[in-house]
Amino acid sequence: MGETKVLVGPEPPSAADVVAVARHGAAVVITEAADRAMAASRAHIEELAARPLPVYGVSTGFGALATRHIPPEMRTKLQLNIVRSHAAGSGPPVEREVVRALMLLRLRTLTTGRTGVQPATAHALAGLLNAGITPVVHEYGSLGCSGDLAPLAHVALALIGEGDVHDAGGRLRPAAEALADAGLAPVTLAEKEGLALLNGTDGMLGMLLLALDDLRALLRHADLAAAMSVEALLGTDRVFAADLQALRPHPGQAASAANLRALLADSPIMESHRGPEDTRVQDAYSLRCAPQVNGAARDTLAHAALVADRELASAVDNPVVLADGRVESNGNFHGAPVAYALDFLAIPAADVASMSERRTDRMLDRHRSYGLPAFLADDPGVDSGHMIAQYTQAAIVSELKRLAAPASADSIPSSAMQEDHVSMGWNAARKLRRTVDGLTRVLAIEILTAARALDLRTPLRPGPATGAAVAALRAHVPPPGPDRYLAPEIEATTALVRTGALLQAAESTTGPLP
């Protein structure tokens, strides 16, 4: 795995730590403070296990079966059975980065000393991460209350040497075989440990953190795309002036407008139509209001990041071991706080994409593009240019609008009505990942189209920043010409958005954009 090391212990990890482990293969190291905290809480669990008084998760069944007292000789089987029975996911495997994120977040909760697990169990989970072993976790199975039970159960199943995993090389293998090859021994679960491995909101939180990482970059790409389109459509940058933006002091709006000013600075195209010959009074909303929409999306992102930070500081389990040794049931496993944030983010992501598509459509309509050829075609009629690229955008935007409907507004009772209200946060997270992918593609198509339009404005040239982005794109996508196979160009541009290469090119002249 990677050379970077992330310390895991009672102190909350940063969002960057989670991304480093999930996406970039950083290794994890459990701190000595974590070992002490886990040993202390484990002692409390073992003391309670020796008493006749029933304790949920230690000496009772689970969920609606919590009324049954489990004798000591059956408790190891109890913990083994909860893992096997709850590993009931279905559908395709979720992405490796998602599984690694949820593994790290569950490990972090174990190391708080609030779950009562043996230190050896936490070290075994860290061993899986460091060996690059990724349990197969399925798309369906979590209701987001009592945490992400089925996804976490599939991870716990690998810990005990059962189920399937992908090894560091990506090969699908039986867990027992992969553990043996990595020099790892299966875990033997003791009282409460099976439950402690399952009862968290780690999957949905992991996906929230990954989405935040993606969306921070995508909103800067949205500003880049808007700037390129404003230039291509001979729009004005006067509306992005700082004193105008200050009349409505939303921080995200101010940041977006500042980006647009920087990206459009020293543009010969912008200077070409500042005189009295330009009789237009106002640009269309999709140009003029870009900071308001991209900015509001930023402010929504800031709220979601605050929720994520609070969750990173949480110890989600039921029951929990408190500092005084009490073991108490609670409702902290309910995924509502994370689910709402995930659903909230899908709304501005869809709207930013919707505005992007409107700018693209405007560049393709010769009645609204101020001198550009119809559909930016080389020979309109013989060539169709980017006509169908906009269709692709429209299809994605329509899907994003559907995905903006909240998953967390739904609830289906489970466990014989004991768990009678659930968050559906996992579903909210899964649809947000699809939304992020869709927004990436929509912005890529706008950038691809705007670059073509800017080239067609020759001999006028774009500004240094947008021109640098066009030049970076032209290293992978040829300039305008007769119709050609367009799908590979869309995919190439999408890849450049994902890697940040176009944004980095623009920032080489503007400096870092917020």
**Catalytic residues, which ones?**
56
d(CA 263, CA 232): 13
Backbone angles phi, psi at 13, to 5 degrees: -75, 160
Report helix, strand or coil for 215: helix
Q: Is 319 left (phi over 0), alpha (psi -120 to 50) or beta?
A: beta
- For 7, 9, 134, the CA distances from 46, given in Å and listed in that order, are 27, 22, 31
Q: Is 411 left (phi over 0), alpha (psi -120 to 50) or beta?
A: beta
Which residues, at least 6 apart from 105, have a Cβ–Cβ distance to it below 8 Å? 18, 200, 202, 205, 206
DSSP conformation letters of 334-362? --HHHHHHHHHHHHHHHHHHHHHHHHHHH
Cα 213-215-220 angle, rounded to 5 deg: 110
Contact assessment for residue 313 and residue 13, using Cβ atoms and an 8 Å cutoff? no
Contact assessment for residue 132 and residue 173, using Cβ atoms and an 8 Å cutoff? no
Report helix, strand or coil for 303: helix
Burial of residue 221, with CB atoms counted within 10 A of its CB: 0-12 exposed, 13-18 middle, 19 or more buried:
buried
Tokens of 55: 């304790």
Report helix, strand or coil for 196: helix
Tokens of 12: 């909350």
d(CA 406, CA 135): 29
Amino acid code (one letter) for 6: V
DSSP structural state of residue 383: B
d(CA 28, CA 9): 10
Contact assessment for residue 179 and residue 161, using Cβ atoms and an 8 Å cutoff? yes
Which residues, at least 6 apart from 74, have a Cβ–Cβ distance to it below 8 Å? none
d(CA 28, CA 418): 37
Continuous segment of H or E residues that includes residue 29: strand 27-30
**What is the largest distance, in Å, between two alpha-carbon atoms of the chain?**
90
Amino acid code (one letter) for 478: P
